[in-house]
């Protein structure tokens, strides 16, 4: 979520999607059992919940703690969130969406026990079924591009969405990473077209952008340009079409 990677302090996560069920019962409804309700699906709500054990010191860096991250994120609008049950290797499935963190709670616990926390966040827009195109499993230290993924074309009524999370930054002389999402007609990414350009990042953070179709290209990748002295970045980018 944003610049924070949850898995090191989380042992239970859930992303649930559900429409608000509306009562559409009318007096003259044909073919229904008397006394039964007719339902209609309303707006879809997405909720992300996480539970785990608190570490106020953040492994020696308090600003990396779940407590600091959750406290400072309460009520902040449109924070990008990416959720996956996979390792987030390139090609893995992931959902991503803009959220607002709604609750953060710390439960009372007996002396000598671990201190549990729970947090919830709610969607602020479309929930995108996506694919990890840039993996955070290996730090990026020089300019390059990720392995291309066959995500399909984008119709005139669809958009391509992309979420970028820069999780760690190291180096001197202002280390900077600039990521772009590209498309091409073939897996070798010959003659690519830039579809989404993220703002150059010099610090940790998250961005979520989109662009409209139609796009006939079916292959997609992320190209990253890195500058600075001894730079090193951990970043993840997920792309989806909806």
Convert the pLDDT of each residue in 162-217 to its tens digit.
999 999 999 999 999 999 999 999 999 999 999 999 999 999 999 999 999 999 99
pLDDT on residue 165: 96
CA distance 152 to 219: 7
- Distance of alpha carbon 141 from alpha carbon 139, whole angstroms: 6
Position 212 scores a pLDDT of: 96
pLDDT of 25 > 90? The answer is: no
HSE on the CB side for 229, CA within 13 Å? 3
* pLDDT-wise least confident of 20-34, 75-89, 119-133: 20-34
pTM (2 decimals)? 0.87
Sorted by where each begins, the domain ranges of the chain are: 7-12+47-241
| Terminal Cα distance for the chain, rounded | 21
Question: Does 10 score more than 80 pLDDT?
Answer: yes
pLDDT tens for 41-65 read 888 888 999 999 887 877 777 777 8
Task: State how far the alpha carbon of 35 is from the alpha carbons of 26, 32, 38, 75, in Å.
Answer: 11, 8, 10, 42
Closest CA to 177 of 136, 149, 131: 136
Q: List pLDDT tens digits, range 115-170.
A: 899 999 999 888 899 999 999 999 999 999 999 999 999 999 999 999 999 999 99
Contact between residue 155 and residue 78 where contact means Cβ atoms under 8 Å apart? no
Q: Which residue has the higher pLDDT, 189 or 85?
A: 189
* Both structure tokens of 226: 């890195």
> 5-18: buried (b, 16+ CB within 10 Å) or exposed (e) per residue?
bbeebeeeeebeee
Tokens 């390139």 correspond to what residue? 90
The pLDDT value recorded for residue 236 is: 96
pLDDT at 62: 78
Cα–Cα dist 42/188, whole Å: 43
């Amino acid at each position: 979520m944003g610049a924070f990677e949850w898995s090191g302090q989380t042992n239970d996560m859930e992303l649930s999607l559900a429409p608000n069920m509306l009562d559409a019962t009318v007096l003259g409804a044909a073919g229904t059992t008397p006394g039964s309700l007719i339902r209609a699906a309303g707006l879809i709500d997405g909720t992300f919940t996480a539970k785990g054990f608190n570490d106020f010191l953040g492994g020696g860096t308090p600003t990396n703690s779940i407590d600091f991250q959750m406290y400072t994120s309460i009520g902040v609008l449109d924070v990008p969130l990416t959720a996956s049950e996979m390792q987030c290797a390139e090609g893995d499935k992931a959902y991503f969406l803009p959220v607002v963190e709604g609750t953060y709670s710390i439960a009372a616990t007996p002396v000598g026990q671990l201190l549990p926390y729970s947090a919830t966040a709610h969607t602020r827009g479309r929930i995108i079924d996506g694919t990890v195109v840039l993996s955070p499993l290996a730090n990026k230290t020089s300019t390059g591009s990720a392995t291309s993924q066959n995500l399909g074309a984008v119709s005139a009524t669809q958009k391509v969405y992309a979420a970028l999370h820069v999780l760690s930054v190291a180096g001197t002389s202002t280390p900077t990473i600039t990521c772009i999402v590209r498309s091409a007609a073939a897996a070798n990414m010959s003659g690519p077209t830039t579809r989404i350009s993220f703002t150059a990042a010099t610090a940790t953070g998250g961005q979520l952008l989109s662009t409209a179709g139609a796009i006939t290209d079916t292959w997609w990748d992320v190209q990253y340009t890195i500058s600075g002295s001894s730079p090193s970045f951990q970043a993840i980018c997920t792309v989806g079409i909806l």
